[in-house]
Amino acid sequence: GWRLAAAVAQYAARRTGKVLAIAPISARERRQIHLALVEAEGVSTRSEGEGIFRQLLIVPEKGPGGGGGAGGS
């Protein structure tokens, strides 16, 4: 489910050092992933876009173990 997706996304963002964009999902699913990763080390999350095009971004944080290299606005 979404917990596994959150864990995989966290790992991928930290490993690659790149922002990971999750395809548009429901507001409920976005919230669940935000909450699952709120205390995750090395990444932060945010949503961008409008309406059905809103997507979740998992952003690696700069610093030790954070991967760095976060592009975005």
pLDDT, residue 63, reads: 58
The pLDDT tens digits for 32-69 are 999 988 888 889 999 999 998 999 999 998 755 444 44
Quote the CA–CA distance of 49 and 66 in Å, as a whole number: 25
Quote the CA–CA distance of 62 and 70 in Å, as a whole number: 7
Edge-to-edge order in the sheet of strand 43-48: 20-22, 55-60, 43-48
Quote the CA–CA distance of 15 and 22 in Å, as a whole number: 16
- Between residues 6 and 28, the one the model is more confident about: 28
Closest CA to 6 of 37, 38, 48, 44: 37
Question: What's the whole-model pTM score?
Answer: 0.74
